[in-house]
Amino acid sequence: MQTSKDFAREIRNVTLKMVYNAKASHIGGAFSMADILSVLYHNVLKIDPTEPDNENRDRFLLSKGHACTSLYATLGLKGFFELKELDSYAANGSKFLAHTSHYIPGVEISAGSLGHALPIACGLAIAAQKKHKTWKTYCLLSDGELNEGSNWESILLAPQLKLNNLILIIDYNKIQSFGFVKDVIDIEPLSKKFEAFNWETYEINGHDHEELLATFKLCDNDGPKPKVIICNTIKGKGVSFMENKLLWHYKSPSEEEYNQAIGELNL
Amino acid sequence: MRTAFIKELIEEAKKNKNIFLIVADLGFSVVEPFIELFPDRFLNVGIAEQNMAGIASGLATEGYNVYIYSIGNFPTLRCMEQIRYDICYHNVNVKIIAVGGGYAYASLGASHHATEEIGMLRTIPNLTVCAPGDPEEMRAITKFTSAHNGPCYIRIGKAGEPEVHKKYDKSIAEVKSGDILNVINGTDIAVFSTGSMLDYSANFISNNSLKASLYSFPFIKPLNKNQFTDILKKYKRIITIEEHQLNGGFGSTILELINDLKETKTISSYPEIKRVGINNAFYSIAGTQDYLRKLAGIELQLNYFEL
């Protein structure tokens, strides 16, 4: 039986192929969140690929839309659409844009400009509470994205509204567009910030599947606070020469790099 | 106008359980009757307009018809990207209400002069752009937006605007998308007014006993092209008037539409066009709304009416 770790490997393989074929960017951030996506879609989210708009589904909103490849890979592997459709990724005429598109089954919102998903996620969480629905809203942000003021407007409001059905996930891979997060705008102490803002706060290893699953389970409680899971991750996780390298926010692998990466992913 | 808005919204909300009102900590002494009747369909998100627009998008995705309310440039320019992307690109049912269009908050300074937003908003696909001219138009536009499934922007004046249509024995029970409303019937020259310039324009024509027509444009986008073409054919000169920058505003809309009608040979010729609005300037002088309008050159001149 497939485990979430097997699934994560598949996600990275499909992602790598998409990025390589399309000569696309952003593989580093797509890989850093691959384990989070794997656990969410394998074990946590109440979703049905045959009914992507089922009104009782959990909502997952990806805010760092530039890392769409691993989300598309996840959804394709789960059967939201034919996996081979991803061969058209970023090609002329393809609906698979190089940022998330809500025209793709299973993708809740289009994202690209940073700092947009969390306010929308708050809107969804408010709607669920008003309508007494039990589905949850998950929202995944990057670390650099926390520079955006709009996120902090939501981070202030969500506890005020007791949005306990909102689970925020931070893919804390420590690298943003121009360098290390700590050198651009240091967001530490991040856990303490969220605690001070009245969030139920968890800080974990975002590549440890057992810890991810256990934390998602802990978030399933009736306490009044919104939840945040700060996932310490590694940009480019899974391919040695991509790990912790700013370059892989931009670069597309050469044939040689592609072959090496495939080898490492499938050891 | 803002009172007409909230009263009508309450009436609509009684019938339509999906109407939801969000404010960004503004609307004191305006929105309270709504809160009293529909506490579960009201939210104050604090002074945070980007969040307000995003939350509205999320609520609308889940079936609500969400009105977001603030003043001046706050619910528009402050969150323009959320309007473009979260609301209009996703084409969700959000109605953006800005009170204090133009120089309504004249003395509060340039931060509170809402004089560019129409030019920005009318370029955004899926968005209907409205600027009702008097309380009656306001009620009709509120009714329209309650039934309309898609994003709308509504520019409102402030409070105490007179009923203009009633003064000319007209009645506007409802409007359809793009409707142009005739207020005064004349010959040769027509004034096209949008938003709160309606009362001023009507008074100018009446007080000077001019034989010009007056049309009010509660919609800036879209416009009913057939109705517009029929109106256009009747006149030798059109004067557009708006409390907004000339660049990209209402007068520009009219010029663009006329050009396109000519290009597609729907019309063979067109009237002279005189545009009245703000000529690419900020004003840093205190004064009343009328004072600022005059200073910015938003006024009709008798010679505009001489052929």
Going by C-alpha positions, the residue among A92, A85, A91, A90 that lies closest to residue A100 is: A90
Contact with chain B for residue A114, Cβ under 8 A: no
Indicate the SS3 state at residue B193.
strand
DSSP sequence for A101-168? -TTSTT--S---STT-HHHHHHHHHHHHHHTT----EEEEEESGGGGSHHHHHHHHHHHHTT-TTEEE
Q: Which residues of B touch A102 (CB under 8 A)?
A: 90
Q: How far is Cα B107 from Cα B112, in angstroms, rounded to an integer?
A: 9
Assess whether pLDDT exceeds 90 at residue B159: no
Residues 49-78 of A with CB under 8 A from B: none
State the DSSP code for B207.
H
Probe site for chain A from B22, B40, B86 (most A CB atoms < 10 A) = B86
Domains and CATH numbers, chain B: 2-156 (3.40.50.970), 164-305 (3.40.50.920)
The reported pLDDT for the residue numbered A140 is 98
Contact B55 A113 (CB under 8 A): no
* Contacting residues of B for A157, CB less than 8 Å apart: 45-46, 48, 51
Angle B276-B181-B179 (CA atoms, 0-180°, nearest 5)? Answer: 100
Q: Across-strand partners of A170? A: A141, A230
The stretches in chain A having pLDDT less than 70 are: none
Q: Which residue has the tokens 């393809």?
A: A94
pLDDT band at B158 (very low <50, low <70, confident <90, very high): confident
Evaluate whether A180 touches A188 at the Cβ level (below 8 Å).
no
Distance CA B280, CA B276 (A): 12
Contact A127 B62 (CB under 8 A): yes
Name the residue facing A127 among B53, B59, B89 (closest C-beta): B59
**A27 vs B41: CA distance, rounded Å:** 42
Q: In the numeric block, which tokens belong to residue B266?
A: 């729907």
Helices marked H in chain B: 2-15, 32-37, 49-61, 80-81, 117-121, 135-147, 164-167, 197-207, 225-232, 250-263, 289-295
Task: Give the nearest chain A residue to B63 (CA atoms).
Answer: A127
Residue A80, number of CB atoms within 10 A of its CB: 21
Write down the mean pLDDT value for chain B. Answer: 97
Neighbour-count burial for B105-123, b at 16+ CB within 10 Å, e otherwise: bbeeeeebbbbbbbbbbbe
Contact list in B for residue A160 (CB cut-off 8 A) is 46
Q: In whole angstroms, give the CA distance from residue B256 to residue B119.
A: 13
- DSSP assignment string, A45-86: ----TT-TT-TTSPEEEES-GGGHHHHHHHHHHHTSS-GGGG
Nearest CB partner across the interface for B58, out of A120, A150, A161: A120
Q: What is the ipTM of this complex?
A: 0.96
B146 has pLDDT over 90 = yes
Give the mean pLDDT of B14-20.
Answer: 98
What pLDDT does A267 receive? 86
Question: Which 3 state secondary structure label does DSSP give B44?
Answer: strand
Question: Which token pair is B124?
Answer: 């955004």
Render pLDDT for B241-297 as a digit per residue (tens, 0 to 9).
Answer: 999 999 999 999 999 999 999 999 999 999 999 999 999 999 999 999 999 999 999
The token duo for B154 is 């509504």
| Inter-residue contact A87 to A120 (CB < 8 Å) | no
Nearest beta carbon to residue B58 from set A122, A131, A157:
A122
> Residue B171 pLDDT > 90, yes or no?
yes
Quick one: A4-265 is in which CATH superfamily? Answer: Thiamin diphosphate (ThDP)-binding fold, Pyr/PP domains (3.40.50.970)
Spatial CB neighbours of B292, under 8 Å, sequence gap ≥ 6: B103, B106, B113, B283, B285
Inter-chain Cβ pairs, chain A and chain B, closer than 8 A: 86
| pLDDT tens-digit map of B27-79 | 999 999 999 999 999 999 999 999 999 999 999 999 999 999 999 999 999 99
Interface of chain B toward chain A, CB-CB under 8 angstroms: 40-41, 43, 45-46, 48, 50-64, 81-82, 85-86, 89-90
Nearest-CA residue of chain B relative to A159?
Answer: B45
Q: State residue B24's pLDDT score.
A: 98
Count of other CB atoms within 10 angstroms of residue B259? 11
Nearest residue on chain A to B56, alpha-carbon basis:
A123
- For residue A123, give the nearest of B54, B85, B89 by CB distance: B54
**Is A47 in contact with A41 (CB distance < 8 Å)?**
yes
For residue B62, give how far its alpha carbon lies from the nearest alpha carbon of chain A (Å).
6
